[in-house]
């Protein structure tokens, strides 16, 4: 008994007989030009509306391509196995990035909440706006949900094709050669679809860096609390644009940390200040303070 795949219809059930133009002949030939099984009427030299569609093609007996198709099947199995490993690794990286984004986003939101609870009665509306802005900015950094969905879709396709290929290779039967070759062709077509989805997936940027920061001066907060009725200054989410990766070569880690902590600035600002003053943390602090 032949086990039918999900969504199989009467039209795409493989019987071993030609379905072109109501042909009732056994599929005994292979068209190399179109990578397709065909029957005696398909390759007939007399062309009309129902016969001879492959008469001008490069055609051979189906037995003559057994070795070629089996080798191609093994190549496709190896390709699918390697591709599956690649996309499983990509999925893990995407999930890690998604977790890091959510972690950084929650830290930024918590920082904002801790500050604005002190002046909630006056700046409640502004707090809501900043929280919304944080969400929007982080969500724009990396479309993890779309990337995960596409990766899962592609991974499923790869697994299905790989299972089919292994099954055909394991159960290869030269007495059912047309069924075996048809299975090989289906896997080749599936790989074409997989590559199409793969090209779309490659457009996703998997390089995530947290370049969003919210900071505020504690002395300013204290002054604001004393003069809350006169407070008009807006606190903003600072978006740090980094044109290139931070290069710490030649700088002491302790000096960087000192400038960051004492100057209450970002790592990028500390590194730039230290480089401007030949690594002198005192001069760098004065520069940051100014």
6-47 tens-digit pLDDT: 555 555 677 888 888 778 899 999 999 999 999 999 999 888
Q: Is position 224 within any domain?
A: no
Q: Is position 3 within any domain?
A: no
Q: Is position 30 within any domain?
A: yes
pTM of this structure: 0.45
Tell me how crowded residue 197 is: count the other CB atoms within 10 A of its CB: 15
Q: Give yes or no: residues 46 and 72 share one domain.
A: no
> What is the mean predicted confidence (pLDDT) over 80-102?
86
Q: Give yes or no: residues 146 and 175 share one domain.
A: yes
Q: Is position 124 within any domain?
A: yes
Q: Give yes or no: residues 253 and 195 share one domain.
A: no
Q: What is the pLDDT of residue 259?
A: 85
Q: Give yes or no: residues 187 and 151 share one domain.
A: yes
What percentage of the chain carries pLDDT values higher than 90? 17
Last residue of a domain, one of 154, 178, 201: 201
Cα separation, 254 vs 94, in Å, equals: 33
Q: Give yes or no: residues 151 and 181 share one domain.
A: yes
Q: Give yes or no: residues 78 and 127 share one domain.
A: yes
Q: What's the domain count of the chain?
A: 3
Is 80's pLDDT higher than 50?
yes
CB neighbour burial string for 35-46, b if at least 16 within 10 angstroms, e if fewer: ebbbbebbbbee
Q: Can you point out the beta strands (E) in 59-98?
A: 59-61
Look at 138 and 45; give whichever has higher pLDDT: 45
Q: Give yes or no: residues 52 and 179 share one domain.
A: no
pLDDT tens per residue across span 157-177:
888 888 988 998 898 888 888
Inter-residue contact 90 to 61 (CB < 8 Å):
no
47: Cβ contacts below 8 Å, ≥ 6 apart: 53, 55
Q: Give yes or no: residues 191 and 260 share one domain.
A: no
Q: Give yes or no: residues 89 and 48 share one domain.
A: no
When the pLDDT of each residue in the chain is averaged and rounded to a whole number, the result is: 78
Q: Give yes or no: residues 144 and 99 share one domain.
A: yes
Q: Is position 289 within any domain?
A: yes
Cα separation, 221 vs 110, in Å, equals: 16
Q: What is the pLDDT of residue 244?
A: 45
- Residue 254: domain span: 240-290
What percentage of the chain carries pLDDT values higher than 70? 72
- The CA distances from residue 111 to 63, 114, 214, in Å, are 72, 5, 8
pLDDT tens per residue across span 184-220:
888 888 888 777 767 766 665 555 566 666 666 677 7
Q: Is position 235 within any domain?
A: no
Band of the pLDDT at 231, cuts 50, 70, 90?
Answer: very low
Q: Is position 4 within any domain?
A: no
Is 252's pLDDT higher than 70?
yes
Q: Give yes or no: residues 42 and 123 share one domain.
A: no
Q: Give yes or no: residues 172 and 97 share one domain.
A: yes
Q: Is position 226 within any domain?
A: no
Cα separation, 216 vs 235, in Å, equals: 7
């Amino acid at each position: 008994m032949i086990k039918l795949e999900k969504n199989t219809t009467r039209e795409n059930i493989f019987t071993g007989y030609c379905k072109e133009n109501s042909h009732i002949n056994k599929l005994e030939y292979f068209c190399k030009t179109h990578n397709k099984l065909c029957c005696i009427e398909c390759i007939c030299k007399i062309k009309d509306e129902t016969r001879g569609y492959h008469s001008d093609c490069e055609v051979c007996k189906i037995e003559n391509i057994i070795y070629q198709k089996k080798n191609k099947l093994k190549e496709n199995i190896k390709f699918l196995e390697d591709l599956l490993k690649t996309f499983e690794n990509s999925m893990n990286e995407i999930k890690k990035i998604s977790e890091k984004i959510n972690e950084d986003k929650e830290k930024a939101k918590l920082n904002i909440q801790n500050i604005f609870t002190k002046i909630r009665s006056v700046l409640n509306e502004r707090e809501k706006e900043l929280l919304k802005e944080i969400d929007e900015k982080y969500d724009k950094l990396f479309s993890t949900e779309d990337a995960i969905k596409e990766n899962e879709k592609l991974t499923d396709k790869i697994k299905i094709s790989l299972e089919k290929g292994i099954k055909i290779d394991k159960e290869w039967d030269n007495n059912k050669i047309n069924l075996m070759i048809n299975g090989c062709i289906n896997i080749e077509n599936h790989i074409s679809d997989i590559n199409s989805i793969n090209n779309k997936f490659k457009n996703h940027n998997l390089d995530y860096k947290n370049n969003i920061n919210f900071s505020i001066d504690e002395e300013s907060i204290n002054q604001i609390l004393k003069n809350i009725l006169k407070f008009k200054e807006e606190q903003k989410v600072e978006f740090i644009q980094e044109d290139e990766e931070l290069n710490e070569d030649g700088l002491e880690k302790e000096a960087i940390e000192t400038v960051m902590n004492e100057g209450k600035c970002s790592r990028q600002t500390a590194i730039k200040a230290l480089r401007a003053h030949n690594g002198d943390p005192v001069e760098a602090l004065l520069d940051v303070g100014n």
